[in-house]
Each structure stands twice: as C-alpha cells, then as structure tokens.
Amino acid sequence: MTHTLHRFGRRQDLTQDFIVTAMPARGFNDQNCVPKQKEFLRTALEYGPVNIGNAIKGAEHRATKDLRPTVHWHRDDAPDPEAVIEEVDRPTTVSAVFDDYEPMQAFVAKLVEMDLGLSVNISSVPDQAMKCCEECGVVRHSIEYSVGFRGATEKLPDDTTMELMTMCGHGMVSAAFARKMTDWVRSGRRTPEDATRYMARFCVCGSFNPARAEKILARAAEGK
C-alpha cells in the first residue's frame, strides 16, 4: 500500500500522473540497500521525471532553513536532483514522478532488467499500471484500489483544491495552502509555475507532480 493511492482528479489528468517508488523491507533486504536506492534515482533521471524524492531528506524542491523576511527575493529555486541522490544515506523510500506513460514504462522496464531486489510500486490508474507490468514482462504482486471519498462529501474542499492537496499523500500541502495558491494565481499575484514551486517544497517524499499542478492552476486561472 502507498500514501500516493488517493490522488483526486479527472481520469485524463490521472493518466498523466505516475509515481514509481522503491523501498526495502526492514530485516529482509535493507542491508546494503543505499547504493541500490541511489542507483534507482540516478537511473530515473535518464527518463526525465518531473520530480524525484527521498522520503527522509526531501525532494528536488524543498523549504529553506533560512527564514529571514528577505529570503524569498534571493533564494535559488532551481531543482537539485543530485542533492536528493547524494543525501540517501540510510534505508528509505525513494520515488520518481512522471507526467507521461512512455518514459515511465521505459524506466520500469529498465528496473526489471536491473533487478535491484527492492519492492517497486507504481501508483496510477489501475489499467495503466497493469499495462506497464504486461509490457515489461512481469506479473504484478498485488494491487490496491482507492474507492474514492465517502460520507459527508459536501464538507470536502472544492475540486481544484482536492486535486492539488492530494498530490501530497502525507498531507503537507493543506487545503488552505492550496486555496491560497489558487487565489494568488487567479489574481495574477503569482504564476502557475511560482505557485507550484511553493507547494512542491512541502512534499518531502517527492510524490508531488509539478507538471500536473501547473496545468491545474492554469485552468483555475482561466476560470475552468
């Protein structure tokens, strides 16, 4: 099971949203797994992911420890995938996010060839994940479904907010934060790219999809 299971949105968007994770099992294959997890991330970069992450240390975009008022005017916002890889120093969960099926499938096919001995999970709409497994010549071990949200759904945030906040499975992008970024984009105070970077910083594990977030915010800015 994975924390990335409950992403909310339209199917046409979710078919452009893939999270591939690799993690060891404590006491089974966690010995000497750090080089393997670094190799997972380094290999992922060859296929053009939109985000990679180390659940302990952070992803390509991250918050700063320098909290002075002027930091927002001079901070370096460039993603740093090499730092993510170098900071893997203990067994953790590593991830790579893709916004297109073909590079994701090619990456998984490469992982099958590499046979790192780690548990690999694909989060996506089920038929896309199963298609990937078939094309890579592997039989999936198991599958978990998200059956959506039940109960007093009228109390849930609006759809745009839900789409943004559920891209961080650990809940680090709150509904209020997502609404604020959406309002800023609608009012012209920030571009979709700027607002996306702000939100991505708080998703430590790296499962946030910046490419998808930019599209969601751009649609919101157009009133869609």
Residue 130 lies in a domain: yes
Residue 68 and residue 218 in contact, taking contact as beta carbons nearer than 8 Å: no
Question: How far is it, in rounded angstroms, from Cα 205 to Cα 110?
Answer: 22
User: Is pTM, for the whole model, over 0.85?
Assistant: yes
What is the count of structural domains for the chain? Answer: 1
**Residue 5: DSSP 8-state:** T
Residue 151: what pLDDT?
A: 94
Residue 163 lies in a domain: yes
Question: How far is it, in rounded angstroms, from Cα 115 to Cα 178?
Answer: 39
User: Distance of CA 68 to CAs 15, 64, 75, Å?
Assistant: 40, 10, 11
Q: Could you say which residues of the chain have pLDDT below 70?
A: 1-2, 72-74
Residue 72: what pLDDT?
A: 64
Tens-digit pLDDT profile for residues 19-33: 999 999 999 999 999
Q: What is the 3-state secondary structure (H, E, C) of 38-49?
A: HHHHHHHHCCCC
Residue 5 lies in a domain: no
Residue 1: what pLDDT?
A: 47
Residue 1 lies in a domain: no
> Could you tell me how far CA 140 lies from the centroid of its own chain?
21
User: Distance of CA 20 to CAs 3, 102, 106, 124, Å?
Assistant: 12, 13, 12, 9
Mean pLDDT of the chain: 93
Residue 168 and residue 6 in contact, taking contact as beta carbons nearer than 8 Å: no
Helix or strand run (H / E) with residue 176: helix 175-186
Residues of the domain holding 167: 11-221
- DSSP strand E in 111-223: where? 119-123
Residue 77 lies in a domain: yes
